[in-house]
Copies of this chain bind each other. A is one copy, B any other.
Amino acid sequence: MSLHPYYNAENHGPYEIINIGDLDLACGKTLHNCELAVATHGQLNENKDNAILIPTWYSGTSKIIQDVFIGTGRAIDPDKYFVIIVNQIGNGLSSSPHNTLGIYAKAGFPTISIADDVTAQHRLVTEHLGLTKLALVMGGSMGAQQTYEWAVRYPSMVDRMAAIAGTARTSDINKIIADTIIHGLRTDPSFSHGDYVDSQAVSAGLTQHARLMTLYGLSASFFEQQHYKPLGFDSVEAFFEGFMKPYFSPMDPNNLITMLEKWRAVDVSALEGGNLRAALGRITAKALIMPISQDMFFPPSMCLAEAEMIKDAVFYASSSPSGHLGLFGVDGDWIREVDNQLAELLGRK
């Protein structure tokens, strides 16, 4: 139903819209006729034990997940696995502020939590796809955070998990980062308390959003070693104007804020009354915890501390000068590291 020039199948397809019905949210409200945009690759086998679930990261869609992780001959091989990519609520393809009508439209959209996404995904894979097991749940960034929520909330369903460049609980400093990004969007006068007609009118706020993604999304070495040059940009300014700004600016501010507030509140320990060790202790999945060493959002030390609370976890600190946005997959060496680690995880006995 979206007529938004960015959030459509031409840019992000193919995907199927699946109505999972009314979703009772952690905030106490109910999201009626919750729609999930789902892209699948490969076939479910007879034993129904080859399904891989990949939730999306902040501002990303199923398209970039496919481009970065999936391919014949790669670890996530559609010839061997039934891969299910679910777009997170608020990302512009699934139910989101910009494509919802009525009182939940735009800034009226309710607060969504990672738990809501995982509850919705659970209903999708059990009731709509008839699955009782997931061979692997994996994701990067907020996708890793949904992966943690899956492994803690539904441990018996998750055989393996891979949390890439993400944590089970958002750090306090990450909350200030989220506040800063949200503030940058909301204080654009054209944001009009979220009631803008054209999202592109919020250009100053979206430019500030792109600046902050540039400052925290990459790394000091990315700029010092001029890793933007192999991408075809002669200067940091050219990289910002030619890549970061055009990449993030077509997005919808209310959608972004829905995801930022979700990110800000991530804490799987809520399932154990705030006890992170007890929550991560629930995990029975064979786990790969794989931060990016240069990541400014999710530092490896935090990921290591969480990995040590998981029974069967392999911790692997990958390296990419692109920092957190190594997830974009432009760094071939990093992609090879990911494939090697995922292959090891999928082969682990």
Q: Is A296 an interface residue (CB 8 A)?
A: yes
Contacts A180-B211, A208-B183 given; does A223 touch B301 at CB 8 Å: no
Complex: A301 Cα to B171 Cα, angstroms: 28
User: What 1/0 flags go to A298-318 for Cβ under 8 Å of B?
Assistant: 010110000000000000000
Contact A183 B171, beta carbon cutoff 8 Å: no
Contact of A177 among B176, B215, B302 (CB under 8 A): B215
Distance (Å) between the CB of A324 and the closest chain B CB? Answer: 12
Contacts A189-B189, A215-B180 given; does A172 touch B208 at CB 8 Å: no
User: What 1/0 flags go to A230-242 for Cβ under 8 Å of B?
Assistant: 0000011100100
Mark out the residues of chain A between 211 and 248 whose CB falls within 8 Å of any chain B CB in the assembled complex: 211-212, 214-216, 220, 223-224, 235-237, 240
Contacts of A189 in B (CB 8 A): 187, 189
Q: Is A188 an interface residue (CB 8 A)?
A: yes
Q: Is A3 an interface residue (CB 8 A)?
A: no
The oligomer's copy count stands at: 2
Q: Is A27 an interface residue (CB 8 A)?
A: no
Contacts of A208 in B (CB 8 A): 180, 183-184, 187
Apart from the given pairs A183-B184, A187-B208, A220-B301, 10 other A-B contacts in the complex at a CB distance below 8 Å: A172-B235, A173-B215, A180-B208, A183-B211, A184-B184, A184-B187, A184-B208, A187-B188, A215-B215, A220-B299
List chain A positions with a Cβ less than 8 A from chain B. Answer: 171-173, 175-177, 179-180, 183-184, 187-189, 204, 207-208, 211-212, 214-216, 220, 223-224, 235-237, 240, 296, 299, 301-302
Contact of A236 among B172, B187, B235 (CB under 8 A): B172
Q: Which residue of B lies closest to A204 (CB)?
A: B187
Contact A236 B204, beta carbon cutoff 8 Å: no
Complex: A214 Cα to B172 Cα, angstroms: 12
Complex: A312 Cα to B187 Cα, angstroms: 49
Sample of 15 A–B contacts (CB below 8 Å): A171-B224, A172-B236, A172-B237, A173-B214, A173-B220, A176-B215, A176-B236, A176-B240, A180-B208, A180-B211, A183-B204, A184-B208, A220-B296, A220-B299, A224-B299
Q: Which residue of B lies closest to A188 (CB)?
A: B187
Contact A223 B172, beta carbon cutoff 8 Å: yes
